[in-house]
Amino acid sequence: MNPAIEFEALAKRYGMLAALDGVSACVPRGQVIGLLGHNGAGKSTLIKLILGLIAPSGGRLDVLGQSPWRAHALRRRIGYLPESATFYANLSGRELLDYLARLKQAPRAQAQALLERVGLAHAADRRIGTYSKGMRQRLGLAQALLGSPELVLLDEPTTGLDPQATRELYRIVGELRADGRCVLVSSHLLAELEPHIDGALILRQGKLLAAGSLAALGEQAALPAHMLLRPHENAGAELMTQLAARGLAAQSRPDGRLELQVPREAKLRTLRELLANPAIADLDVREPTLAQLYDWLGAGPHPAAEARA
Amino acid sequence: MNSIFIVAWKEFRDDFRNRWTVALTVLFALLALGIAWFGSAAAGRVGFTSFDATLASLTTLGAFVIPLIGLLIAYDTIVGERDDGTLLLMLSYPLARGQLVAGKFLGHCGALAAATLAGFGLAVAIMQLMQPPAQTLQAWLHIGRFILSASLLGACFVGMACLISVQTADKSRAAGLALIGWLASVVLFDLALLALLVVSGGNPVERAVYPYLLLLNPVDVFRLVNLTALGDGAGNDLLTGMTAHHTYSPALLCLVLLGWAVAPFAWAMLAFRRKEI
């Protein structure tokens, strides 16, 4: 089975500006992949290239085993939720889905089923102009699933959604993954995205900073784990000197807990020692987050990556 | 092909839903009845007069109104979707860009043709009912030609509107261009021709070229189609006087009008295919 998306030295230039500058990666099927990067990093350009709306200036791009540029039939197998989609305000939700289902040659009955799946069945006959932001996003998700696409592209799907609706959205994303489909989610909200994705493509200024599974990226970055220790009463100072003797610089926090940064390779060893220490009443281990990884890679708008490298 | 009709049907229904079609039908019917009833008011009479004279007045009025409507109904058809953010969504569906433009063009043309047929048809039916002498085959042929050529004229300007819509960056610019286009084709072109006529004083070269210059503007072609068919004495002496030395065959005129309907639309399709989204 070929991968969902594969590109090599892919480039897109607008005049002098390089929106994408020689990026290479492979996105397997059956996974949820986050597409991360600040505004202007090249996320939208990559999505447009995958949809075949613009032609690459160089390099190779295969989507579901073929080149997407002007491949209209290929788009029947791709679903796309545009960023902050408005749709046609004068149509009802049902009419919009009927129209789009006909364009995608999807079964008409699917429109009704999808409206129920995203929880819009009650508002199906209301004009889209009266929908709330969250309802419009859910309608957008429904249309992206028309025709049971093998690849689903979601561009900032959770902007403007309340936490309940966000959970619902990621529940559906999870169902798609279980179904063996590939989902590419672009988002700024790293903390929200992190539990739901298997891997990430991180772009900055048209270049690919990192690509791969979150675990592999974590290994590669080797970011330290954070540990929070709550000592027994009056044992704080003693614990601190004990730790210092082992070469661990603990910092005291206002709530009385001690914060430790433990290098990745020393994590388990340190943990065993700490568990055996009677001065510690409680212990909390925090793995490096996606946001920390993102900062470490220097994916932000400031070119800090070169300085650290 | 199927995708074109799906888009066309959606646009046609949208025009109907937005009350465009109904409003135009009423406008056309009222214009036709008004001209028929009050057309001879200047002569001190009120009431239905000659059917041909009514049609000649309708032609003059239609030449002003129909281009404007064609432009208004479609100037935002692509650029409006870009402003609303639905253009990317549409293009992510399995249809070619040309199919999207073609569907929109056909849908708006269909809506305009339906309004023309319903509005003028209704008015003519009323006129015929109230004026039995006008119930001739000839009259029906004239009105059939008028409705057909009016629909084609509408299509010319819907095509131009599509072209403007594809080429502009935002809706307000498209609206401005549409108004300029209307002014140029309906008013300025004829003024320029008149000026040319006056300045040149009717030398032989100019006399030979002049009739063909009229074909460069679909509005004038529309006038010619209807007025040459009606003949003299129907209140159209100016135009027929200008072109007396040259008779246009109706087939040629219809072909030119059809060409004018297709050319801007085809240009719009090509331009949209090349556009960076």
- Under the banding of pLDDT at 50, 70 and 90, the label for residue A241 is confident
Q: What is the pLDDT of residue B237?
A: 53
Cα A27 versus chain centre, distance: 13
Per-residue tokens: A96: 């919009």
Q: What is the pLDDT of residue A254?
A: 87
The larger pLDDT score, comparing residue B229 to residue A44, is at A44
Establish if B277 touches chain A: CB-CB under 8 angstroms. Answer: yes
The whole-angstrom separation of Cα B138 and Cα B142 is 6
Q: Which residues of A touch B276 (CB under 8 A)?
A: 14, 54
Select from A54, A73, A85 the Cβ nearest to the Cβ of B89.
Answer: A85
Task: Give residue-wise pLDDT tens across range B29-87.
Answer: 998 888 887 776 666 666 766 777 888 888 888 999 999 999 999 999 999 998 888 89
Q: Which residues of B touch A54 (CB under 8 A)?
A: 276-277
Q: Is the pLDDT of residue A286 over 90?
A: no
Nearest CA in chain A to B80: A88
Q: Is the pLDDT of residue B94 over 80?
A: yes
Q: Is the pLDDT of residue B263 over 80?
A: yes
Does B96 sit within 8 Å of A84, measured CB to CB? no
Q: What is the pLDDT of residue A304?
A: 43
Q: What is the pLDDT of residue B44?
A: 67
The whole-angstrom separation of Cα A177 and Cα A154 is 14
Does B85 sit within 8 Å of A82, measured CB to CB? yes
Does A53 sit within 8 Å of B91, measured CB to CB? yes
Q: Which residues of B touch A103 (CB under 8 A)?
A: 3, 6-7, 93-95
- Under the banding of pLDDT at 50, 70 and 90, the label for residue A307 is very low
Select from B18, B85, B93 the Cβ nearest to the Cβ of A100.
Answer: B93
Does A86 sit within 8 Å of B84, measured CB to CB? yes
Work out the percent of chain B whose per-residue pLDDT is above 90.
46
Q: Is the pLDDT of residue B150 over 60?
A: yes
The whole-angstrom separation of Cα A27 and Cα A44 is 17
Domain coordinates in residue numbering, chain B: 3-274
Q: Is the pLDDT of residue A9 over 50?
A: yes
Task: Give residue-wise pLDDT tens across range B158-172.
Answer: 999 999 999 998 999
**From the candidates A76, A103, A136, A154, which should be mutated to test the interface with B, based on the most B CB atoms within 10 A?**
A103
- Under the banding of pLDDT at 50, 70 and 90, the label for residue B231 is low
Shortest distance, CA B150 to any CA of chain A (angstroms): 29
Lowest-confidence region among A285-294, B42-51, B222-231: B42-51
- Under the banding of pLDDT at 50, 70 and 90, the label for residue A309 is very low
Establish if B17 touches chain A: CB-CB under 8 angstroms. Answer: yes
Select from B18, B85, B276 the Cβ nearest to the Cβ of A85.
Answer: B85
**From the candidates B93, B99, B104, which should be mutated to test the interface with A, based on the most A CB atoms within 10 A?**
B93
Nearest CA in chain A to B86: A87
Select from B7, B88, B96 the Cβ nearest to the Cβ of A82.
Answer: B88
The whole-angstrom separation of Cα B151 and Cα B66 is 9
For the entire predicted model, the pTM comes to 0.86
Q: Which residues of A touch B20 (CB under 8 A)?
A: none
Q: Is the pLDDT of residue A169 over 80?
A: yes
Q: Which residues of B touch A76 (CB under 8 A)?
A: 94
Question: What ipTM was predicted for this assembly?
Answer: 0.84
Select from B89, B94, B95 the Cβ nearest to the Cβ of A82.
Answer: B89
**From the candidates B20, B86, B89, B171, which should be mutated to test the interface with A, based on the most A CB atoms within 10 A?**
B89
Reported as half-sphere exposure (CB side, CA atoms, 13 A), residue B263 has a value of: 10
Task: Give residue-wise pLDDT tens across range A214-240.
Answer: 878 877 778 888 888 888 888 888 888
Q: What is the pLDDT of residue A264?
A: 82
Nearest CA in chain A to B91: A53
Select from A14, A80, A99 the Cβ nearest to the Cβ of B10.
Answer: A99
Select from A78, A88, A104 the Cβ nearest to the Cβ of B86.
Answer: A88
Three-class SS of chain A: CCCCEEEEEEEEEECCEEEEEEEEEEECCCCEEEEECCCCCCHHHHHHHHHCCCCCCEEEEEECCECCCCCCHHHHHEEEECCCCCCCCCCEHHHHHHHHHHHCCCCCHHHHHHHHHCCCHHHCCCEHHHCCHHHHHHHHHHHHCCCCCCEEEEECCCCCCCHHHHHHHHHHHHHHHHCCCEEEEECCCHHHHHHHCCEEEEEECCEEEEEEEHHHHHHHHCCCEEEEEEECCCCHHHHHHHHHHCCCCCEECCCCCEEEEECHHHHHHHHHHHHHCCCEEEEEEECCCHHHHHHHHCCCCCCCHHHHC
Alpha-carbon dihedral A112, A115, A120, A122, rounded to 10 degrees: 10
Residue B3 makes CB contacts below 8 A (sequence gap 6+) with A103, B94, B95, B96, B99, B103
Select from A14, A75, A84 the Cβ nearest to the Cβ of B94.
Answer: A75
Degrees, nearest 5: CA angle A33-A204-A218: 50
Does A14 sit within 8 Å of B93, measured CB to CB? no
The whole-angstrom separation of Cα B236 and Cα B132 is 24
Q: Quick one: average pLDDT of B113-135?
A: 84
The B residues from 61 to 100 touching A (CB cutoff 8 Å) are 84-86, 88-89, 91-96
Q: Which residues of A touch B89 (CB under 8 A)?
A: 80, 82, 85, 87, 143
The larger pLDDT score, comparing residue B154 to residue B32, is at B154
Does B93 sit within 8 Å of A53, measured CB to CB? no
- Under the banding of pLDDT at 50, 70 and 90, the label for residue A83 is confident
Q: What is the pLDDT of residue B111?
A: 95
Per-residue tokens: B202: 């009717």
- Under the banding of pLDDT at 50, 70 and 90, the label for residue B116 is very high
